[in-house]
Structure 1
Amino acid sequence: MVHWADYVAEKIIRERGEKDRYVVESGITPSGYVHVGNFRELFTAYIVGHALRDKGYDVRHIHMWDDYDRFRKVPKNVPQEWKEYLGMPVSEVPDPWGCHESYADHFMEKFEEEVEKLDIEVDFLYASELYKSGEYSDEIRRAFENREKIMEILNKYREIAKQPPLPENWWPAMVYCPEHRKESEIIEWDGKWKVRYKCPEGHEGWVDIRSGNVKLRWRVDWPMRWAHFGVDFEPAGKDHLAAGSSYDTGKDIIREVYGKEPPLTLMYEFVGIKGQKGKMSGSKGNVILLSDLYEVLEPGLVRFIYARHRPNKEIKIDLGLSLLNLYDEFDRVERIYFGVEKGKGDEEELRRTYELSVPRRPERLVAQAPFRFLAVLVQLPHLTEEDIISVLVKQGHIPERLGDEDLDRIRLRIKLAKNWVEKYAPDEVKFTILDSPPKIDVKDDIREAMLEVAEWLEKREEVSVDELNNVLFDVAKKRGISSREWFSTLYKLFIGKERGPRLASFLASLDREFVIRRLRLEG
């Protein structure tokens, strides 16, 4: 089966024709923290561009920061005094935290740093700079020249939606007052380059379109950008692709005003947090950032979350127990890619998913330290990082001979596993090794079984997990002890809980003498 990104890339080539360079675009208004839901738009554009590059084409990926949009509302985490900046461009609102030049910079810089870690080729552009430099001046004037045509287009869709038509004094742009920098109403246009405006502070004046103080409204700005940059593909959320929404009006405006064809698009579903209703909102603060994911996921797994899901499928981010399944799935796909494991008839799509997920494709299968087991090992206080690596080798999880690339990945996963246990692991996964045996009643037959296991361990220098597992089952079976009662007792003795990690692997990871003493109830 063809991966969805390749399917879209082929469609772009077919419908837009052979080109020296294709342009894909994504864009966000930095009105708050740019979260993993916003990232889906950027990654969808990127992965389609990636597919085009893999077919031998040159691709420019533009990510448009709409930092010339107005400051619309004060988020929860921002002082309420920032109400005085409402109506100003977000690029000119002061940073409430005082660490960046503006409110917009505070959020843009963080996201750009996060994206850089994923080795994504993207050209970040800033609407404020483009407007102020006069880059869009000709397109803005053309919108004024075609004001009636634009109103006709917008009113057509407003009528379908049973909305009242635009007022007669509507203009396709707004003005930022040169003095107060607040959104101002346009009163008239001189037919050339000058626009008369009325500031909410009460005064009137004239500005030149080329001065950078005139900004197109969203439904005109979007198709104008498509025309200006020659955009071939831009994904969009379902709110922008609903009937009569900004994509529908944009298609008509780019054709009738700017004389070009609209880009192909693709609807992507929202990204949510498991257990939380609705989509994430940077202004509300209920968000997960890419930097949150980096605390527990390798960069390849971050990309894998998006590459494995078709865009029209909702993604629910779960940093709890499901994260262990995500690592298992990624490692399986990686083994399939390198031919170490067979798929179930879906090898082609899974291999392609892996190619599109990893920032840099390794030449061989790099050692996969199982994250699920690492989450156990990092909780054993006596194990250093080197001890953990030694346990992984002894238990056959990683090869004996390890290169620098292997060690780097293993050490990264150890660090990520520690973070996960500390921040996100549910209580059922967490445990503490008891300093001394708890005061519990141990039946005679179970005590006998424990002594037999201790005796077996005492005779061995090295302990194999499979052998220990067999012994654990055999001593219980020959005494008629149920597995549930037997295992529950052992877990209570070591961690004070009735359940825990896989017992044989867990005991084999502990100091052998300690295990022997505990089985003999000696401390």
Structure 2
Amino acid sequence: MTSLRDAAMTSKAWPFEEARRLLKRAEARDKDHVLFETGYGPSGLPHIGTFGEVARTTMIRRALDLIGDIPTRLVCFSDDLDGMRKVPENVPNPPALREHLQRPLTDVPDPFGTHESFGAHNNARLRRFLDTFGFDYEFVSATEFYRSGRFDDVLRRAAERYDDLMAIMLKSLRDERRQTYSIFLPIHPETGRVLYVPMKHVDGADGTVTFDDEAGREWTLPVTGGNVKLQWKPDFGARWAALDVDFEMYGKDHAANTPIYDGICRTLGGRPPEHFTYELFLDAEGHKISKSSGNGLSIDEWLTYAATESLSYFMYQKPKTAKRMHFDVIPKAVDEYHQQLRAFHAANDPDKRAANPVFHVHSGDVPQSDMVVPFTMLLNLASVAGAEDKDALWGFIRRYAPDASPEANPQLDRAAEGAVRYYNDFVKPAKVFRLPTEAERAALSELRDRLRGWDGPVDDEALQGVVYEVGRDRFDPMRDWFRALYQVLLGADQGPRFGGFIALYGVRETADLIDRAMAGELVGNSAAV
């Protein structure tokens, strides 16, 4: 029988495709490990796109661990020596930061008052986010990297090969920008600001740069020891050369710069890594998520409503397709994740298991799903039950699945808690009920009567059959019947498989709900039904 490792060698799942590329690279090089890198610009609070980059990189790393025998490492590099070019909108007391513009982020005071600098604060947030998901990574601060001397050899080489590096950069710049551009950004010895000034002279032999500051004073500084930093594009390629990076993924907005990054890396004596370009994350309006403006979802916001694994699952899906990251995607992601858990354990074929997203979410150690009720069904249950906490939902869940409990079904218990929060925050304010039409009223009356006289099993399929029979001769197409059920009874345009909803909520309770809807008690009452 085919082993999982054999299946991985031919699987079309994108982490395995990337892992096979890396395995070929590793076999051609005399290295004792494969180094993955992910970069982070801490100019604002970390956002969910940062998590996505690390999660996807980790999926490839774990895929390589399965098919290869070479050790792997992941470095998360924070460009915290970058000058603060604008004050973020989503921090306390933004005006207090204005006097620190252009200073390295690790020299800017922390507006939250919890860390020694704004850069340190954002780095701590990033690490906390990554630790929440159990990522195995090494954190590297650009400030420490420059100031400790770890970057000195590459910086000296950059001074020696300055003209070659400038030639790469100048081809990508407009004429006016070329006149003042330098790959080196000196850090002013007195003001501590990162200066965007032209170089009067770069001495490759001495490893120094000479420039005039904004006041016209001339300075000469060594390129080593954190006295200068590289512009961000040269810095990208220089890091690859300094660390000997084998793999880095980045967003589509970087794709046009790939030849620049590669050229910088080669000129500095390195070999460019394998690349993977992913599409960008968008907010509800289709705008790119920005860490400085704070639009889109944050990791903490996702975790308010759903478990971490559902977010990892969302990140796995079609990384080369743009994704809208807003609250509406959460219920679908939760239910699809649990569907894939069940499919993984139902499949004995290693090829199918290797292609299943949850294999990559869990690095092969895939748990069983205990979600006997889908998340979207829990939302509808929260609606009709007027649930204010998860205990209200558990009364219905236990009747539907007597063996279920918060202790035996921790995933379901977490989902019930998240569903109540999600319902109250997003579904409840948007619910709009309507009265039924005469044709719908006749169908609802028959459904109510059949439910009141029901003596069959409280079974999803049996009850779905009743719902279908009532609507079959009255509605064409049938979706008009189900839309009526959702709009009249649930205050929504879409909803669950209605037989399953009846089984969960209760046959008698659903009949009572129909009576309340036809009496007009639900119309205009979006807060509770």
Q: If the TM-score is normalised by the length of the shorter chain, which range does it land in?
A: 0.7 to 0.9
Q: Is the 8 A contact 1:493 1:518 kept in 2?
A: no
2:305 aligned counterpart, secondary structure? coil
Give, in whole Å, the separation in 2 of the partners of 1:141 and 1:259.
12
Give, in whole Å, the separation in 1 of the partners of 2:20 and 2:280.
25
Trace 1:118-197 onto structure 2 (pairs within 5 A): 118-155=133-170, 157-158=171-172, 163=175, 166-167=178-179, 171-184=182-195, 185=197, 186-189=199-202, 191-197=205-211
The equivalent of 1:408 in structure 2 is: 410
Indicate yes or no: 2:340 matched with 1:333.
Answer: yes
1:143-171 Cα offsets, whole Å, 9 max, x none, are 1111122223333x34xx7746844x754
Q: 2:86 aligns with which of 54, 60, 73?
A: 73
Q: Is the 8 A contact 2:433 2:488 kept in 1?
A: no
How far the C-alpha of 1:221 sits from its partner, in A, is 1.9
How far the C-alpha of 1:4 sits from its partner, in A, is 1.2
The equivalent of 2:275 in structure 1 is: 265
The equivalent of 1:391 in structure 2 is: 396
Give, in whole Å, the separation in 1 of the partners of 2:389 and 2:154.
63
Per the normalisation by structure 2, the TM-score is 0.79
Note closer, same or farther for the CA distance 1:444–1:195 as it changes in structure 2 (3 Å cut).
Answer: closer
The equivalent of 2:4 in structure 1 is: none
The equivalent of 2:214 in structure 1 is: 200
Q: Is the 8 A contact 2:249 2:275 kept in 1?
A: yes
2:112 aligned counterpart, secondary structure? coil
How far the C-alpha of 1:180 sits from its partner, in A, is 1.0
Q: Is the 8 A contact 1:153 1:252 kept in 2?
A: yes
Q: Is the 8 A contact 2:452 2:508 kept in 1?
A: no
Q: Is the 8 A contact 1:94 1:103 kept in 2?
A: yes
The equivalent of 2:263 in structure 1 is: 252
1:124 aligned counterpart, secondary structure? strand
Q: Is the 8 A contact 2:380 2:495 kept in 1?
A: no
How far the C-alpha of 1:500 sits from its partner, in A, is 6.6
2:248 aligned counterpart, secondary structure? coil
Q: Is the 8 A contact 2:344 2:358 kept in 1?
A: yes
Give, in whole Å, the separation in 2 of the partners of 1:473 and 1:227.
65
2:87 aligned counterpart, secondary structure? coil
Note closer, same or farther for the CA distance 1:64–1:264 as it changes in structure 2 (3 Å cut).
Answer: same
1:46-76 Cα offsets, whole Å, 9 max, x none, are 2222221222331111111000011112233
Give, in whole Å, the separation in 2 of the partners of 1:39 and 1:371.
23
Indicate yes or no: 2:419 matched with 1:417.
Answer: yes
Note closer, same or farther for the CA distance 1:82–1:467 as it changes in structure 2 (3 Å cut).
Answer: same
When structure 1 is superposed on structure 2, of 123-132 and 440-449 the one drifting more is: 440-449
2:35 aligned counterpart, secondary structure? strand
Note closer, same or farther for the CA distance 1:312–1:485 as it changes in structure 2 (3 Å cut).
Answer: closer
Note closer, same or farther for the CA distance 1:207–1:358 as it changes in structure 2 (3 Å cut).
Answer: same
How far the C-alpha of 1:260 sits from its partner, in A, is 2.3
Structure 1 unaligned regions, length at least 5: 433-437
Q: Is the 8 A contact 2:436 2:484 kept in 1?
A: no
Q: Is the 8 A contact 2:84 2:103 kept in 1?
A: yes
How far the C-alpha of 1:290 sits from its partner, in A, is 1.6
Q: Is the 8 A contact 2:432 2:491 kept in 1?
A: no
How far the C-alpha of 1:325 sits from its partner, in A, is 3.1
How far the C-alpha of 1:82 sits from its partner, in A, is 2.7
1:54-113 Cα offsets, whole Å, 9 max, x none, are 223311111110000111122334524533222111121122333332222333322321
Q: Is the 8 A contact 2:79 2:142 kept in 1?
A: yes
CA RMSD of superposed structures (Å): 4.1
Give, in whole Å, the separation in 2 of the partners of 1:504 and 1:318.
29
Whichever residue aligns with residue 75 of structure 1, its letter is: P
The equivalent of 1:215 in structure 2 is: 229
The equivalent of 2:527 in structure 1 is: none
Note closer, same or farther for the CA distance 1:254–1:492 as it changes in structure 2 (3 Å cut).
Answer: closer
Whichever residue aligns with residue 123 of structure 2, its letter is: M
Whichever residue aligns with residue 400 of structure 1, its letter is: D
Structure 2 unaligned regions, length at least 5: 1-10, 522-529
Per the normalisation by structure 1, the TM-score is 0.80
2:275 aligned counterpart, secondary structure? coil
Trace 1:39-78 onto structure 2 (pairs within 5 A): 39-55=51-67, 56-77=69-90
Whichever residue aligns with residue 6 of structure 1, its letter is: F
When structure 1 is superposed on structure 2, of 145-154 and 200-209 the one drifting more is: 200-209
Note closer, same or farther for the CA distance 1:253–1:402 as it changes in structure 2 (3 Å cut).
Answer: same
Q: 1:23 aligns with which of 32, 35, 38?
A: 35
Say which one has the larger Rg.
Answer: 1
Note closer, same or farther for the CA distance 1:51–1:426 as it changes in structure 2 (3 Å cut).
Answer: farther
Give, in whole Å, the separation in 2 of the partners of 1:315 and 1:382.
31
How far the C-alpha of 1:472 sits from its partner, in A, is 5.8
Note closer, same or farther for the CA distance 1:57–1:301 as it changes in structure 2 (3 Å cut).
Answer: farther
Whichever residue aligns with residue 7 of structure 1, its letter is: E
Q: Is the 8 A contact 1:151 1:166 kept in 2?
A: no
Note closer, same or farther for the CA distance 1:471–1:230 as it changes in structure 2 (3 Å cut).
Answer: closer
Note closer, same or farther for the CA distance 1:233–1:330 as it changes in structure 2 (3 Å cut).
Answer: same
How far the C-alpha of 1:237 sits from its partner, in A, is 2.4
Give, in whole Å, the separation in 1 of the partners of 2:181 and 2:448.
88
Q: Is the 8 A contact 1:454 1:519 kept in 2?
A: no
1:152 aligned counterpart, secondary structure? helix
Trace 1:454-473 onto structure 2 (pairs within 5 A): 456=453, 463-469=458-464
Identity %: 23
The equivalent of 1:347 in structure 2 is: 352
Q: Is the 8 A contact 2:440 2:481 kept in 1?
A: no
Note closer, same or farther for the CA distance 1:440–1:338 as it changes in structure 2 (3 Å cut).
Answer: closer
The equivalent of 1:435 in structure 2 is: none
Give, in whole Å, the separation in 2 of the partners of 1:162 and 1:383.
59
2:113 aligned counterpart, secondary structure? coil
Whichever residue aligns with residue 409 of structure 1, its letter is: Q
The equivalent of 2:292 in structure 1 is: 283
1:291-341 Cα offsets, whole Å, 9 max, x none, are 2222223212111112121x3222222422x54333332222222210169
Give, in whole Å, the separation in 1 of the partners of 2:444 and 2:12.
59
The equivalent of 1:298 in structure 2 is: 307
Q: Is the 8 A contact 1:337 1:350 kept in 2?
A: no
Note closer, same or farther for the CA distance 1:463–1:75 as it changes in structure 2 (3 Å cut).
Answer: same
Note closer, same or farther for the CA distance 1:270–1:476 as it changes in structure 2 (3 Å cut).
Answer: closer
The equivalent of 2:252 in structure 1 is: 238
Whichever residue aligns with residue 82 of structure 1, its letter is: L
Indicate yes or no: 2:366 matched with 1:356.
Answer: no
1:60 aligned counterpart, secondary structure? strand
When structure 1 is superposed on structure 2, of 411-420 and 325-334 the one drifting more is: 325-334
Whichever residue aligns with residue 280 of structure 1, its letter is: I
Q: 1:2 aligns with which of 4, 12, 16?
A: 12
1:327-361 Cα offsets, whole Å, 9 max, x none, are 33222222221016999xx835532x211113783
1:395-425 Cα offsets, whole Å, 9 max, x none, are 35xx836694x42111111112122212333
Give, in whole Å, the separation in 2 of the partners of 1:488 and 1:172.
61
* Matched pairs, number: 498
Note closer, same or farther for the CA distance 1:334–1:473 as it changes in structure 2 (3 Å cut).
Answer: closer
How far the C-alpha of 1:236 sits from its partner, in A, is 2.4
Note closer, same or farther for the CA distance 1:252–1:508 as it changes in structure 2 (3 Å cut).
Answer: closer
When structure 1 is superposed on structure 2, of 497-506 and 93-102 the one drifting more is: 497-506
Give, in whole Å, the separation in 2 of the partners of 1:3 and 1:477.
42
